[in-house]
Amino acid sequence: MEVGTKNPVLDLEALRVSISRTPSVLVILSTITAYIVKVFDKKPASFEVKKFLESKRFYLDFLASVGPALNSALTKKSWLSTNYVTDWWEEYVYLSSRDSLMINSNYFGLGTERIPSNRGTSRIAGYVWSILKWRKDALIDGKVPPIKLQKLVPLCPMQYKRAFGTNRAPGKDKDNLVYNEQSTHIAVFHKNALEFAIDSVQKSEPSEADKINHLPAGTALSREKWASLRDVLKSDAQNEASLAKIENALFHVWLDDEPANVVKPASMVEFARRCLHGSGQNVWFDKCFSVIASSNGHIGQNVEHTWADGAVMLHITEEVQVLEHLMIEYNPETGTILGKDVKSNAKMDILKWNSLEKTLEQISKELSTIADEITNLSLSQLSFSKFGKNEIKKWRLSPDAICQMAFQLTNFKIRNKLSMTYEAALARLFKDGRTETIRSCTTASAAFVKEMLDKNSDNQKRRNALKAAVTNHSELTKHAMVGEAVDRHLFALCVASRGLNMEHEFLNKYKKC
């Protein structure tokens, strides 16, 4: 489906240029000292002295040997790049991974419980129109103001530029993120065929020659296997052209023939699984994002992780839903879109394929492995309705920090131990920033857990412990957001040590931690 010409994103790029560069590379001594404190912070009263002394010996040797040289290399890299972490982060955390994208990397999102139409084809038509409207307003015409932290500080918009027309192409040793700025079409999956229109799936059925069957399952394989199969596909000119249409699309739409009822927790989990992994044979996991449309109007998404972090996709989704609410009117009885009949000039086509039998046969041999990965996944959903963020804000506490403390308490109740915990903080205050690590398990959170489980404690002591833990967590979050945390610095040191062949046991232990 053709949707318009792509113009340069001038306003977006101008905003990106105005964002501050990544702060200077941290002093290596302060980073490593802070790291050691954080590692042993989770057991302040009884940490293992032997392990601490061993770690101290490693980090002192690191500081006295290869550490300064590696940090100097990072400093030089920071002079030559807008962000000394992001390119390595995308390459080594995402693109170099050889695991399947399904479940391991891609993530899912669900729409709202209340939907404006339960007529599936009408709802997805309105939703896709809203996506394209947002894209035009924000990325082409520059009419959408940038998102700002506390409504004051603009965040780097780099990731938004890659929201459309981006595909993760598999490679033997490393994948490539391919961004097609000239993309003007959408790939629509329905049953066993690929099309370029929202409504045409009800008008005709594909011929046997045009069916792709379980070809999308190739994207659920390990990256080496999919790269090999993809090379075979591209050896045929017709198949290469059809594959290019899939990979160059603005985004994908999967028209699901099954209804979804996300009001009930059990049904919400079922629809969440359809968005996260589907059958393992229907979602094209390489694509920047795929809209999953149920037959009764519920919407979900499957999102490839390399091009952007979850907060970016969440923001786009919220904006799209607002546009749909304001600009699309559905008939309350039939669910169809109200308005004047407009003759569509959309170009529609079913992709053609030549001799897919051998490729499909190779993929068929892996379907049991894909099915096992899906079966081995445990996914649950908790509906908490006693109070929400508005109530927490009345306490003058951070809703996010409250949730993190709840995780710490729950984890201890289940496992009877404290665990090192990762939470992502946005690093988009700086140009091309992605995320930084918040280490949520701290002395303060441990004290809160202890107070909550102490039968001799009282509510006032527990409130005080909670407030102290939340305050400490909020401070950690601020440090992470302004470039004063330790993990991305240590990650960059690990990459530099590998590239310069300057390995050290301290960094090896950090990678395993």
Q: What is the rounded CA–CA span in Å between residue 300 and residue 462?
A: 39
The string of DSSP codes covering 279-322 is TSSS--TTBSEEEEE-TTS-EEEEE-SSS--HHHHHHHHHHHHH
Is 101-375 assigned to CATH 3.40.50.720? Answer: no
pLDDT of residue 448: 98
- The answer to whether the 23-81+487-512 and 101-375 domains have the same CATH topology is no
Q: What is the rounded CA–CA span in Å between residue 34 and residue 31?
A: 5
Q: What is the rounded CA–CA span in Å between residue 335 and residue 211?
A: 30
Question: Are 292 and 299 spatial neighbours (Cβ–Cβ below 8 Å)?
Answer: yes
Give the mean pLDDT of the chain: 88
Residue with tokens 């603009």: 154
Residue 209 pLDDT greater than 50, yes or no: no
Alpha helices in 65-167 (DSSP H): 67-80, 86-88, 120-135, 158-161
pLDDT in tens, 66-119: 999 999 999 999 999 989 999 999 999 999 999 999 999 999 999 988 899 999
Residue 5 pLDDT greater than 70, yes or no: no
Q: What CATH number was assigned to the domain covering residues 389-481? A: 3.30.559.10
Question: Are 418 and 412 spatial neighbours (Cβ–Cβ below 8 Å)?
Answer: yes
One-letter amino acid at 323 equals L
pLDDT in tens, 459-480: 999 999 999 999 999 999 999 9
The DSSP element (H or E) to which 402 belongs, if any, is: helix 399-415
List phi, psi (to 5°) of 188. -115, 120
pLDDT in tens, 123-133: 999 999 999 99
Please compute the mean of the pLDDT values over residues 445-458 and round it to a whole number.
96
pLDDT of residue 195: 57
pLDDT of residue 261: 80
- Residues of the chain with pLDDT > 90: what percent? 71
pTM above 0.85, yes or no: yes
| pLDDT band at 45; cut points 50, 70, 90 | very low
Which one of the listed residues 185, 190, 305, 489 is annotated catalytic? 305
- Measure CA of the first residue to CA of the last residue in the chain; give whole Å: 48
Question: Are 307 and 166 spatial neighbours (Cβ–Cβ below 8 Å)?
Answer: yes
One of 1.10.275, 1.20.1070, 3.40.50, 3.30.160 is the CATH number of 23-81+487-512, namely 1.10.275
Q: What is the rounded CA–CA span in Å between residue 236 and residue 456?
A: 74
Rg of the chain, C-alpha, whole Å: 25
Helix axis angle, 223-234 relative to 237-248, nearest 10°? 130
Q: What secondary structure letter does DSSP report for 330?
A: B
The string of DSSP codes covering 5-61 is PPPP-HHHHHHHHHSBPPPPPPPHHHHHHHHHHHHHHTSTTT--HHHHHHHHHHHHH
Residue 303 pLDDT greater than 70, yes or no: yes
Domain boundaries, the chain: 23-81+487-512, 101-375, 389-481
Residue with tokens 């780099």: 158
pLDDT of residue 474: 96
pLDDT of residue 53: 67
Q: What is the rounded CA–CA span in Å between residue 165 and residue 239?
A: 19
Query: Is 305 in the active site?
Result: yes
pLDDT of residue 349: 82
Closest CA to 318 of 172, 509, 116, 112: 112
Residue 160, helix vs strand vs coil: helix
**Strand intervals (E) in 99-190:** 107-110, 148-149, 153-154, 166-169, 176-179, 187-190
- Taken in order 137, 252, 205, 335, the sign of the CA dihedral is negative
- Residues of the chain with pLDDT > 70: what percent? 88
Residue 10 pLDDT greater than 50, yes or no: no
Residue 317 pLDDT greater than 70, yes or no: yes
Higher pLDDT, 510 or 317: 317
Three state DSSP letters for 419-434: CCCEEEEECCCECCCC
pLDDT of residue 198: 41
